[in-house]
Amino acid sequence: MRHPGRRRFTIRKNVKEGHGAMHELNITPLLDLVFVLLVIFIITTPQMANDLEMNLPSGQQKKPNGPPPKIHRVVIDPQGGIRLNQQAVAMADLKGLFVGLRKTEGDPSVVVSGGSEVDYERVIGVLDLLQQADITKVGLATETAR
């Protein structure tokens, strides 16, 4: 029933159907791309590490020309004593002896040995003194398991 003189108003909402303007940016594909690039970068980048240059022996034997070279032996005992060619030496005097060997022999060969019970710090100290004296022919002697 209609009342005379009364108008009927309808309110319409403006609703857009379908796709309107995007108010949010979809970053999922962008994140996928970034993760793929990150994985590729990690795989292709070489591992950065402190490299130790080492001349490895070859499998072929060389025929010696002349007498065999003299090898100087440094032995570190479990009590911390150091012997150079069977003579007891103090750690403070060792660098001077290495420098003297370098001057008299040119490039001497030195083998450092110490058992498993020797303090590792002493062995590193001797190797450091050899490096300071610029002696490059250095070997480490090991003991076989009994």
Going by DSSP bridges, is the β-strand pair 137-141/109-114 parallel, antiparallel, or unpaired? parallel
Provide the residue range defining the domain that includes 75.
Answer: 71-141
Going by pLDDT thresholds of 50, 70 and 90, the confidence category of residue 55 is confident
Tally the domains of the chain: 1
Asked if residue 118 is part of any domain, the answer here is: yes
Asked if residue 116 is part of any domain, the answer here is: yes
Asked if residue 107 is part of any domain, the answer here is: yes
**Distance between CA 21 and CA 84 in Å, rounded?**
85
> Has residue 59 got a pLDDT over 80?
no
Torsion of CA 56, 61, 62, 66, to 10 degrees: 110
Asked if residue 89 is part of any domain, the answer here is: yes
More confident: 145 or 8: 8
CATH number of the domain at 126, please.
3.30.420.270
Asked if residue 4 is part of any domain, the answer here is: no
The pTM (predicted TM-score) of the whole model is 0.52
Asked if residue 49 is part of any domain, the answer here is: no
Report the run of H or E that residue 123 belongs to, with start and end: helix 120-132
pLDDT per position as a tens digit, 75-120:
888 887 888 888 888 888 888 888 888 888 878 888 888 877 877 7
> Has residue 47 got a pLDDT over 70?
no
